[in-house]
Chains A and B, each alone.
Chain A
């Protein structure tokens, strides 16, 4: 029998950084076994949302539950136990730079299990093979391209067979081939390993290609949500501007200025 309850329930989350309000009442459900994409303009706090789910930050108001556990209320040890069920792929890859690719993938296994050296070798090679980098096991992180580093980080993120993986801007700064590889890997790993995935991105085309469900976030709120097809057919001007990458619309091309253009040009206060 499949469990239809959401893996993650986010309810009425408010979060501020100093005096700047980042989230102003966000509600989301992340379904099990699905790829959920969170999209929005730069600076809307998409990465912050992942940090809230991972328990690295705590909301000022609201609740975040994973598998029925309130993440924001967990004690240090309980949170670390729960994190073993999460994987996170950072934008930079966040590989440990002083150890090889093999040792990076072996790192969580060595930290959290008592497996024999031969078992660790088998597991690491399997994970590296899954991302196509078994042959790169002896390289150091500095010798990898950006795309390869993210794939190694992905192998490391699935080392402990988590329930869920969070991807922070996985497509940013990738060439078309690396981008295609990552798009395929995210979908393939999600389905083959029975994971649930959260992808934070503003690459509309790539993200929609693998998304089962999309949340559009802007100005601290969820503006719209639905399947990629539903959002494409949305009559919201904001959604259309974002999904089609239009330069002007509800998000204006011009940053608000105190004076009109004419006044600025004619003004004498140079």
Chain B
């Protein structure tokens, strides 16, 4: 029993210590952001690898999620004779929930894991240490541009996911199931509110982008510099990001839509 308590204490302390290191690291990144803004080329290169290279994954996933939503929604709504509301259902589900959440999970798997592996390997091959000894701060030169790129890319990717999903819903609803085209768009226009739905979804995606990218760069920077350590850090990025996104989604949803 004492052994269990001791182990619990050690685990909790090491988790707290890691959280502390992560927070200090986060502050250092924030302090380094002005140096990235002075050299936008560093940012653009990272936005390409973090954002543009995630483009096809997001487009294809968004399309299929929208199509599935329309199929499932149609059969439920048609029981109540409310097929006309399909556009609203697809759009609301996407912009409020599925767009930010699924895009963030995909982003963690595609870009987050790549960021962790890249930074972890740079650490393992002493590239980060080498930079420090060349008087180049690796947080400013390597980490901050990647963090900022993730932070900016995530809302764009989530928006793209939702937009493509709405199109996917249109192809199935209007093209395959034969609901009225005008109704699909006009109901959506009438019922989807900019600040209530779209802006809240956007806020979610910004928060998810921040957290996922922070986890990804920290896991890489804090990785044990061996092949096993980098591999574990990469896995942890995906697992921790998924937990963080789902937990934060619940909290944000409760705050944003809880009083409705």
CB atoms of A80 and B137 under 8 A apart: yes
Q: How far is the CA of A88 from the CA of B135 in the complex (A)?
A: 11
A111 on the interface (CB 8 Å rule)?
A: yes
Q: How far is the CB of B83 from chain A (nearest CB, A)?
A: 53
Contact (Cβ within 8 A) B135 A112: yes
| Contact between chains at A107 and B126 (CB < 8 Å) | no
Q: Is A134 an interface residue (CB 8 A)?
A: no
Q: How far is the CB of B148 from chain A (nearest CB, A)?
A: 19
Instruction: Determine the residue in chain B with the shortest Cβ distance to A54.
Output: B133
Q: Once the chains bind, are B126 and A111 in contact (CB under 8 Å)?
A: no
In the assembled complex, how far is the CB of residue B38 from the closest CB belonging to chain A, in whole angstroms? 13
Docked-complex contact A94 and B129, CB < 8 angstroms: yes
Cα separation A114 to B228 with both chains bound (whole Å): 41
Q: Are B136 and A88 in contact (CB under 8 A)?
A: no
Given contacts A80-B137, A97-B125, contact A90 B132 (CB under 8 A): no
Question: In the complex, what distance in Å separates the CA atom of A83 from the CA atom of B136?
Answer: 9
The answer to whether A90 and B130 touch across the interface, beta carbons within 8 angstroms, is yes
Which of B136-169 touch A at CB < 8 Å?
Answer: 136-137, 141
| Inter-chain contact B136/A92, CB cutoff 8 Å | no
List CB contacts (< 8 Å) of A68-88 with chain B: 80-81, 83-84, 86-88
Count of A-B residue pairs with CB < 8 Å: 48
Instruction: Kindly state whether residue B186 has any CB partner on chain A within 8 Å.
Output: no
Residue contact A88 to B127, C-beta cutoff 8 Å: no
Contact A88 B130 (CB under 8 A): yes
B42 to chain A, nearest CB (A): 11
- B135–A56 touching, CB < 8 Å: no
Scan residues 153-194 of chain A and give those whose CB is less than 8 A from a CB of chain B: 153, 156, 160
Q: In the assembled complex, which residues on chain A have CB atoms less than 8 Å from the CB atom of B136?
A: 107-108, 111-112
Answer yes or no: A26 CB below 8 A from chain B CBs: no
A9 to B202, CA, bound (A): 57
Count of interface residues, chain B, beta-carbon cutoff 8 Å: 12
Q: Are A80 and B127 in contact (CB under 8 A)?
A: no
Tell me which residues across on chain A come within 8 A of B126, comparing CB atoms. 90-92, 94
Tell me which residues across on chain A come within 8 A of B135, comparing CB atoms.
80-81, 83-84, 108, 111-112
- Hey, which chain A residues are within 8 Å of B129, CB to CB? 56, 90, 94
Distance A123 CA – B83 CA, assembled complex (angstroms)? 71
Count A-side interface residues using an 8 Å CB cutoff.
Answer: 23
Contacts of B133 in A (CB 8 A): 54, 56, 83, 86-88
A140 an interface residue at 8 Å Cβ cutoff?
A: no
Asked whether, in the complex, the Cβ of B132 is within 8 Å of the Cβ of A96, the reply is no
In the bound complex, CA of A97 to CA of B118 (Å): 11
Cβ contacts under 8 Å, B132 to chain A: 54, 56, 83
Interface contact A107-B134, CB-CB below 8 Å: yes
With the chains together, A160 CA to B189 CA distance in Å? 61
Q: Which residues does chain A contribute within 8 Å of B141, judged by CB atoms?
A: 111
Residue on B nearest A86 in the bound complex, by CB: B133
Distance A33 CA – B129 CA, assembled complex (angstroms)? 26
Bound Cα distance A87, B135 (Å): 10
Question: What residues on A are CB-neighbors of B127 within 8 Å?
Answer: 94-97
Looking across the interface, which residue of chain B has its beta carbon closest to that of A51?
A: B129
Of all chain B residues, the one with the shortest Cβ separation from A110 is B136
Residue of A nearest to B126 (CB): A94
Q: Which residues of B sit under 8 angstroms from A112, Cβ to Cβ?
A: 135-136
* Cα distance A112–B129 in the bound complex, in angstroms: 17
Chain B residues in 8 Å Cβ range of A160:
134
Q: List chain A residues, Cβ under 8 A from B137.
A: 80
Residues of chain B contacted by A156 (CB below 8 angstroms)? 134
Among B133, B135, B137, find the residue whose CB has the most chain A CB atoms closer than 10 A.
B133
In the complex, besides A84-B135, A94-B127, 10 extra interface pairs with C-beta distance below 8 angstroms are A80-B137, A83-B133, A83-B134, A83-B135, A90-B130, A91-B126, A108-B135, A111-B135, A112-B135, A156-B134
10 cross-chain pairs, A with B, having the tightest CB-CB distances, nearest first: A94-B130, A83-B135, A94-B126, A88-B133, A80-B135, A90-B126, A84-B135, A108-B134, A111-B136, A92-B126
A-B contact pairs, 16 of them (CB 8 A): A54-B132, A80-B135, A80-B137, A81-B135, A83-B133, A83-B135, A84-B135, A86-B133, A87-B133, A94-B129, A96-B127, A107-B134, A108-B134, A112-B135, A112-B136, A153-B130
